[in-house]
Amino acid sequence: MKPSFLPRPRPRCLARLALGAGLVALAGGCGTKNVGSKLAPKDPSASDALGQTLACTTTNTVAEPYVVDLRGADRSHLEAVMSEGIAVVRYDCDGLEVLRGCSVRGAADPYTFVGVSMKEDQVQIDTLDQLRANLPASAVKLESEVTSGAAIDIGLVMVGRKSIRDDMVARPDLEGPGCEGATHFVRSAIVGAFAVEKGTQGKARVAAEIFDVGASAGSEANRRVANRDGKPEDCNKARPGDTVPPEQCRAAITIELYPIVEERPIVAEGEGEGAANGGASKDQVESLQAKCPPGFVRAGGKCSPPQQVAAYQCAPKDFDECTEQCERGNGPSCYNLGVMLRMGGSGRERQPEQAQARFLAACDAADGPAKACMAAAFELGQAEAWGRYVEVLQRGCDRGDPAACDSLGHSLLMGRKGLRADPKRGVGLLERACGMGQAWSCTSLAVNLVHKKLDEERGLHLLETGCERGSANECVNLALIYRNGQAHGGKRPVEALRYDQRACTLGNTSACGRAGKDLVTGTKPVARDLGAGIALLEKGCPAPGPSGTFVAMSSQACTALADVYRAGKGGGTAAKAVTVLERGCSGKRTLTCVELSELHAQGGKGLPKDPAKAQEILRSSCSDGNVSACMALGKQLEGTDKGIARAFYEDACTRTKFPPLCRASEKLGGKGLPAQP
pLDDT band of residue 627 (cuts 50, 70, 90) is very high
Write the pLDDT tens digit of every residue in 542-584. Answer: 987 666 556 788 899 999 999 999 999 999 999 999 999 998 8
3-class state of residue 63 by DSSP: strand
What's the N-to-C CA distance of the chain in angstroms? Answer: 45
What is the distance between the alpha carbons of residues 353 and 344, in angstroms, rounded to a whole number?
A: 12
* Same domain for 594 and 623: no
pLDDT of residue 148: 64
Judge contact between 327 and 336, C-beta under 8 A: no
Nearest to 145 by CA among 160, 130, 158: 130
274/54 Cα distance (integer angstroms): 47
Residue range 395-408: mean pLDDT, rounded = 95
Residue 146 sits in the same domain as residue 87: yes
| Residues 433-447 pLDDT 10s | 999 988 889 999 999
Q: What was the pLDDT predicted at 587?
A: 74
What is the DSSP track for 611-640? HHHHHHHHHHHHHTT-HHHHHHHHHHHHTT
Q: What is the pLDDT of residue 8?
A: 33
Q: Are residues 183 and 245 in the same domain?
A: yes
CA distance linking residue 170 with residue 180, whole number of Å: 14
| Residue 279: band (very low, low, confident or very high) from pLDDT cuts 50, 70, 90 | very low
Answer yes or no: is pLDDT of 368 > 90.
no
State the Cα–Cα distance between residues 502 and 478, nearest whole angstrom: 11
Looking at the domain assignment, is residue 430 inside a domain? no
State the number of CA atoms in the 13 A half-sphere of 499 facing the CB: 25
State the Cα–Cα distance between residues 38 and 60, nearest whole angstrom: 43
Handedness of CA 555, 264, 431, 500 (dihedral sign): negative
23: pLDDT strictly greater than 60: no
Q: Are residues 121 and 252 in the same domain?
A: yes
* Element (DSSP H or E) covering residue 20: none
Based on the fold, state whether residues 71 and 205 are members of the same structural domain: yes
In a domain, 410, yes or no: no
Domain boundary among 560, 575, 609: 609
Q: Is residue 327 part of a domain?
A: no
116-120, 171-175, 238-242, 601-605: which has the minimum mean pLDDT?
601-605
* Residues constituting the chain: 677
Mean pLDDT of 632-654: 93
CA dihedral 547, 550, 552, 554 (to 10 degrees): 60
Of the given ranges (91-95, 157-161, 429-433), which has the lowest mean pLDDT? 91-95
Residues 6+ away with beta carbon under 8 Å from 664: 631, 634, 649
pLDDT of 319 reads 94
pLDDT at 462: 92
Mean pLDDT check: name the lowest of 11-15, 55-59, 171-175. 11-15
Beta bridge partners of 186: 257
Q: The whole model's pTM is what?
A: 0.76
Is 92 within a domain?
yes
pLDDT tens profile 472-530: 999 999 999 999 999 999 999 999 999 999 999 998 999 999 999 999 999 999 999 99
Question: Do the beta carbons of residue 63 and residue 91 sit within 8 Å?
Answer: yes
546 plus 622 within the same structural domain: no
Q: How much is the pLDDT for 450? A: 95
Query: Do 580 and 640 belong together in one domain?
Result: no
Q: Check whether the bond before 246 is cis (ω within 30° of 0).
A: no
- Asked whether residue 474 is assigned to any structural domain, the reply reads no
Same domain for 75 and 208, yes or no, is: yes
Q: Convert the pLDDT of each residue in 25-60 to its tens digit.
A: 333 333 333 333 333 333 433 333 345 566 777 788
Residue 284: pLDDT band with limits 50, 70, 90: low
H-run or E-run covering 402:
helix 402-414
Residue 657 counted as domain residue: yes
- Once rounded to an integer, what is the mean pLDDT over residues 97-103? 94
Of 609, 626, 645, which residue sits at a domain end? Answer: 609
Do residue 526 and residue 648 come from a single domain? Answer: no
User: Is the same domain home to 636 and 594?
Assistant: no
Last residue of a domain, one of 609, 636, 660: 609
The answer to whether position 316 is within a domain reads no
Amino acid identity, position 539: K
Is residue 141 located within the same domain as residue 239?
yes
What are the start-end ranges of the H helices in 41-151? 72-84, 128-134, 139-142
Evaluate whether 272 touches 473 at the Cβ level (below 8 Å).
no
Predicted pLDDT of residue 643: 93
Q: Does 618 lie in the same domain as 597?
A: no
pLDDT band at 110 (very low <50, low <70, confident <90, very high): confident
How many separate domains does the chain show? 3
Give a yes or no: residue 413 inside a domain: no
The residue ranking higher by pLDDT, 277 or 636, is 636
pLDDT recorded at residue 272 = 45
pLDDT tens string 191-239? 999 999 998 888 889 999 999 875 555 555 565 688 999 999 999 999 9
Q: Of the ranges 319-328, 338-347, 462-471, which is most confident?
A: 319-328
- Residue 616's domain spans which residues? 611-677
